[in-house]
Amino acid sequence: MTVGRVLADAEAPVGGSGAADEGARPRFEHLAAAVTGGDLSTEASALIARVLERLIAQGCESEQLRDLEGRVVRKAIGLPITKVRRLLAHAEAQVNPRELEAREAQLFEERFASLRDEPDGSVTLTARLDPASAAPVRAFLDGYVRRTFQERRDAVAAGAACGAAPQAGQLRADALTWLARHAQGCEAEHGGVKTTVVVRLGLEELRQGTGVAEVDGMAIPVSASTARRLAADAEVIPVVLGGAGEVLDWGRRKRLFTRDQRQALVERDGGCAKCHAPPDWCEAHHIRWWERDSGPTDLANGVLLCTRCHHDVHRDGWGIEVRDHKVWFTPPRSIDPARTPVLGGRARIQVDA
């Protein structure tokens, strides 16, 4: 029904004068064109239309809205629905950051956790957290899962006998249990899981507390005021865009990317540059291989990839290139005979409002 209204509005006849006034042109002409052209699914189109309608209700100016609509529609073409949601959340937050702050305050008030005893003796844990509260929890759980899977892969590679592989859900349960025991006074070491919550925002936003920011691993942005509160925590690293940083290009002196280099790749790629998996699921890889191509260990030759995409790139013959601090993937001829480069990384799923 939502998409039907968009199409009906686009097909309505223009008034007799033919004047290009506000009443004579479709509200969402870019979206309607993408739908009729078969470029966007009904589900994605409905999501975009609902966000645009909310922005109209919030008083977004018509010219700004039309410009945003065009850029959102262009970026959404070819994206899976989960990434369309992420794209829209970022765009909407940029247009109306105060609405984002109000929503965060409401989510904080609605936070809860409950435990329920089941008839079979198990316990069901249910929780609902606001983005700021969820950030350190997500970082630890993802780090615990990633470390455990890495240790298992290393053990298998070394020829050690391993039992049945645990599921990610089981490992998250183990991580929560470990945290509770540690809080009770357990004297065990940290357990090897080192996590960091990274909050990313502009220098001016940091100073004034306005605008929006990103938290690694979170699908939607947070307000700058929430980011400032997070950045006050000693366990949170604020990445201030435009600020001075260390020398990050190490050339051939180091094979492995340093922690600072990896963080710079997270800043550029946002996670897996190909499928947009969270940063904790990714490793920094050489675009030009270290051994085969004598590729240097610097940012222009680095890319974040999850394990699956890393194998896909090498198996299928995808090309990777960094131009103007953006990652481009060139598909193999078996996928695209014309081998048209496709934008990847953070730039693929974000628009600047």
Which residues in the chain come in under a pLDDT of 70? 12-25, 184-197, 203, 206-207, 209, 217, 228-256, 291-292, 352-353
In the prediction, which pLDDT does 51 show?
Answer: 92
In the prediction, which pLDDT does 235 show?
Answer: 52
Q: Both tokens of residue 4?
A: 């039907």
Q: Both tokens of residue 105?
A: 């305050």
In the prediction, which pLDDT does 163 show?
Answer: 73
In the prediction, which pLDDT does 110 show?
Answer: 94
List the domain boundaries for the chain.
2-78, 197-241, 259-349
DSSP 8-state assignment for residue 24:
T
Per-residue pLDDT of 167-203, as tens digits, reads 889 999 998 988 887 776 655 554 555 556 677 777 6
**Per residue, what are the HEC states of 224-289?**
HHHHHHHHCCCCEEEEEECCCCCCCCCCCCCCCCCHHHHHHHHHHHCCCCCCCCCHHHEEEEECCC
In the prediction, which pLDDT does 244 show?
Answer: 42
